[in-house]
Structure 1
Amino acid sequence: MTFDIIIIGGGVVGASIAYFLTKNAASDLKVAVVEKDSSYQYGSTARSAGGIRHQFSTPENIRISQFGTEFLRNITEHLSTDGTKVDVSYNEGGYLFLASNQNIPILYNNNTIQRRENVDVALMDPDDLSRAFPWMNVGDLAGGSLGLSGEGWLDAYGLNQAFRKKAIQQGATFLKEEALSLEMDGIKVTAINLSESGTVKAGTFINAAGARADEVAKWAGIDLDVRSRKRYVYSFSCRTEIPDCPLTVDPSGVYFRPEGHQFISGCSPEADNDPDCTDFEVDYGWFEEHIWPVLANRVPAFEAIKMENAWAGHYAYNLLDQNVVLGPHPEVTNFVFANGFSGHGLQQAPAVGRAISELVLDGKYSTLDLNVFNFERMLTGKAVKEINVV
């Protein structure tokens, strides 16, 4: 069995790449996606919080998400397979970043960059916050930044499946089996060894393996500083109505947003308490100790909440700068990377799928110039740092 292009990983990023390759290439291009989890329930995509935002400090990240928003607004036009509506429950509920006194300069500096990039965002002082969100305690806040349009959340699993179905309709092959190793001829990848199909050859290989990206890179003798880091998402209910609630990010880093009649919440741990991890066990004590006190302080009604559910997922965490690694390896040039999203893979999947298809088919970016995220920076240590409010 031989293909022109093999994508390792069938999560939302791999499926998006397959969609754009089969959409933009000649009809005889043979594209395969290797994904062992046929249910797609244990990858990073299905277990994410499903957010998309434009409030970044790096222009390229902003532009990536702006394309993602436009793609989602017109998703039926792009991904319908039979003319019926594609529904991924996209809700432009907005992101609200809250800031303490010490982080106000960052908030304002980021706002300058965002406005330059035509982000629809508003700065708010404590009085503005109190009027807009009367359910919120603003006594310890210095301000906030609210996305007025283009930001929100969606059904991550639904988007993954929509990309997959459309890619298959356009000619992509999805192989439900495990990738075991790569075969090399000098500095060129020539084949992949699969659990059922054995050795499968191709001309180009794309690493979209999410939290397993570093393992796949090692098969080609390449060190990739991307690691699997566990994140918890907690679902809870509140008897008091919290109207017009955006996805709110507290200065502590704790976030919460509505999910139907309930809410979800989580928080990334400090760097010294964030080991490499691949299991799915949930620490309920983390919620009791680190999250609930913050929620109760920010929203007094959250003092009386009921835990409904919780789950764990994984970030493909880029140790250098928590930004995506895109493009071919500088030496193993037929091995292309789309890894290290550090929690932003879902929102960046549409633009990254398009970008990787351009690199593979045309040898260069023809829409968004994303060279700033190239693999070379992983070798030189030239980080692309995102300046966060929290």
Structure 2
Amino acid sequence: MGTTAHQSYDVVIVGGAIYGSSLAWWLGQMPTFQGRVLVVERDPTYAFASTSHTNSCIRQQFSNRTNIQISQFGAEFIKNFRSFMGGDPEVPHLTLQSFGYLYLADTPAFARNLKESQQVQVSLGAQTRHMSRDEIAAEYPFYQLDDIIAGNHNKVDEGYFDGGTMFDWFKRMARRNGVEYVTDEVVGMSLNAAGTSVESVTLKSGATVGCGIVVNASGPRAVATSNMAGIDLPVRPRKRYSFVFDAAHPLDQDLPLTIDPSGVHVRSEGKYYLAGCPPDDDTDVAFDDFGFDHSIWENKVWPAIATRIPAFEQVKVINEWVGHYAYNTFDQNAIVGPHDRVGNFMFMNGFSGHGLQQAPAIGRGMAEWITYGAYRSLDLAPFTYTRLEAQQAFVEKAVI
């Protein structure tokens, strides 16, 4: 366990993975923020963090305007990463591999949803195309499309990137800016008599640390952190499986990130391919449950991809893993900003698989809120915690 340099901090961030580190770095970009920042991370190897098990994808193909705008900034951030990091030549350039997402619709209702979403995306400047089955077949003749009616595809600022490098530089630059990281675990919180403010956090090492603001950036463990402040949160770990495979008959062109109606997705991954899915029994699991169900490949993933892409009849899995979504069971979208009663308790939770791509914009927005008491660049108010209590869902049709 580490030892903190101070007895109190203006901002204590619980969790140092992509969200904790994005916020820590963005606070240093706020011209008027002068506070002390502590990031408490229980596992500095991040071996089991959702950040370490991500497929690092980004898309503009959402149905909700706010989610689209968040990803548009994410693409800008990725493409101009070194510039955002101050132009330091040591900072690498990030490449956004824009093979695009291709959503396939097998029912008229699904096709209508895709068309409606495409219209919203285009109104915000996205290059999404709504395509007929024949148009898809002409562009990508390797698909079997007998059951498909239509699809949406966008090859501009949509694909995958090196999320691990982005995360690494958030951490490095946050430390250079004076943010303190400590290897420890928050195990308790003390509130004021009225229950309206967290006054200190207790660490597993036994230390008590005063705080001006506490930020829950605990990923799939978010509910445990919130419970310490007497707050319930509908965020639970859910397993998501990934498989990298080699094909005996590789395709002669890049494979878009194809969202099959079966719930399986598959895309190019260098000279290999990557496929993933949720389990059919998509239940909450313990935050430390990474048990692997090997039948999912044989019973779900391989049948789906071999049916959709007959060239994948002969494939060999060369890597596989299971990670956790920090799954918002209420509406599968982020919970961001302050609690309505415990006013200095902040949420960066429940991203439900959108985390890596949304980290640049959400980190910036939270830093603005902490510094100025308001969002300045992009209004993130639709993600407020109060929607949970009001039972007003954030509507997003395009959840994978």
TM-score normalized by the length of structure 1: 0.96
For 2:286 and 2:271, the matched residues in 1 are separated by 31
2:106 to 100, 113, 116: 100
Match of 1:114 in 2: 121
The equivalences for 1:153-164 within 5 A come to 153-164=160-171
Select 1:169's aligned residue among 176, 181, 194. 176
**Shift of residue 180 of structure 1?**
1.3
Q: CA RMSD in A?
A: 1.6
2:360 equivalent in structure 1: 350
Cα drift, residue 367 of structure 1: 1.2
**What's the CA shift for 1:197?**
6.3
Alignment check: 8 A CA contact 2:79 2:95 kept:
no
Checking the alignment, whether the CA contact within 8 Å between 2:192 and 2:199 is kept in structure 1 is yes
Q: Distance in 2 between matches of 1:334 and 1:69?
A: 31
Q: Structure 1 residues 27 and 114, CA, compared in 2 at 3 Å: closer, same or farther?
A: closer
1:179 aligns with 2:186: yes
Distance 2:259 2:384 in 1: 29
| Separation in structure 1 between the aligned mates of residue 240 and residue 94 of structure 2, nearest angstrom | 23
The change in CA–CA distance for 1:165 and 1:146 in structure 2 (over 3 A counts) is same
* Cα separation, partners in 2 of 1:183 and 1:25, compared to 1, 3 Å: farther
Q: Identify which range, 185-194 or 359-368, moves more after superposition.
A: 185-194
Q: Secondary structure of the residue that 1:71 maps to in structure 2?
A: helix
**1:80 to partner: Cα distance:** 6.0
Say whether 1:61 aligns with 2:67: yes
Which secondary structure does the structure 1 equivalent of 2:71 belong to? helix
Instruction: Using the TM superposition, give the Cα deviation of residue 82 of structure 1 relative to its aligned residue in structure 2, in angstroms.
Output: 4.2
Pick closer, same or farther for the CA change 1:191–1:167 going to 2, 3 Å.
same
Deviation digits for residues 54-111 of structure 1 (CA, Å, limit 9, x no counterpart): 0000100000000000000000112368422424453222111111133111111111
1:348-387 alignment runs, 5 A limit: 348-387=358-397
Secondary structure at the counterpart of residue 251 of structure 1: coil
From the superposition, tell whether residues 280 and 89 of structure 1 become closer, same or farther in structure 2 (CA, over 3 Å).
farther
Counterpart contact for 2:254–2:268, Cα < 8 Å: no
**Residue in 1 that maps onto 2:135:** 128
1:389 Cα offset (Å): 8.2
Tell me which residue corresponds to 2:243.
234
- 2:99–2:158: 8 Å Cα contact kept in structure 1? yes
Letter aligned with residue 267 of structure 2: R
Matches within 5 A, 1:1-390: 1-26=7-32, 28-79=34-85, 82-102=88-108, 103-186=110-193, 187=195, 188-196=197-205, 198-242=207-251, 243-270=253-280, 273-278=282-287, 279-388=289-398
Counterparts of 2:81 and 2:87, CA distance in 1? 11
- Asked if the contact 2:63–2:117 (Cα under 8 Å) also holds between the matched residues in 1, the reply is yes
Letter matched to residue 295 of structure 1: I
Distance (whole Å) between structure 2 residues aligned to residue 321 and residue 190 of structure 1: 31
TM-score by length of 2: 0.94
Report if aligned partners of 1:12, 1:45 keep a CA contact under 8 Å in 2.
Answer: yes
Q: Relative to structure 1, is the Cα distance of residues 137 and 389 closer, same or farther in structure 2, using a 3 angstrom cutoff? A: farther
Letter of the aligned partner of 1:136 in structure 2? Y
- Aligned AA for 1:289? N
Equivalent AA in structure 2 for residue 106 of structure 1: N
CA contact (8 A) 1:81 1:165 kept: no
Tell me if the contact between 1:124 and 1:146 (Cα under 8 Å) persists in the aligned partners. yes
Point out where structure 2 has 5 or more consecutive residues left out of the alignment: 1-6
Report how many residues are paired. 389
Which amino acid is 1:172 matched to? V
| SS at 1:377 equivalent | helix
8 Å contact kept, 1:81–1:166: no
1:264 & 1:89 partners in 2: Cα distance? 18
CA distance in 2, matches of 1:26, 1:384: 32
1:213-235 deviations in whole A, cap 9, x for unaligned? 01100000001111111111111
**Cα distance in 1 between the residues matched to 2:391 and 2:285:** 21
Residue 298 of structure 1 aligns with an amino acid whose one-letter code is R
Aligned partners of 2:228 and 2:204: how far apart in 1? 15
Counterpart contact for 2:239–2:279, Cα < 8 Å: no
Query: Percent identity among equivalent residues?
Result: 38
Deviates more, 1:197-206 or 1:67-76: 197-206
Distance 1:40 1:83 in 2: 26
Please give the alpha-carbon distance, in whole angstroms, between the structure 1 residues aligned to 2:35 and 2:284: 41
Q: Which runs of 5+ in 1 are unaligned?
A: none
What are the superposed Cα offsets for residues 246-270 of structure 1, whole Å, 9 maximum, x if unpaired? 1111111210111121111111245
Amino acid at match of 1:17: L
Q: Distance in 2 between matches of 1:323 and 1:389?
A: 9
User: Do the aligned residues in 2 keep the contact of 1:97 with 1:248 (CA within 8 Å)?
Assistant: yes
Please give the alpha-carbon distance, in whole angstroms, between the structure 2 residues aligned to 1:176 and 1:305: 42
Distance 2:125 2:312 in 1: 35
Instruction: Indicate conservation of the 8 Å contact 2:267/2:274, yes or no.
Output: yes
Q: Which amino acid aligns with 1:63?
A: Q
How far is 1:183 from its partner?
1.5
Shift of the 131–138 alpha-carbon distance from structure 1 to 2, 3 Å rule, reads same
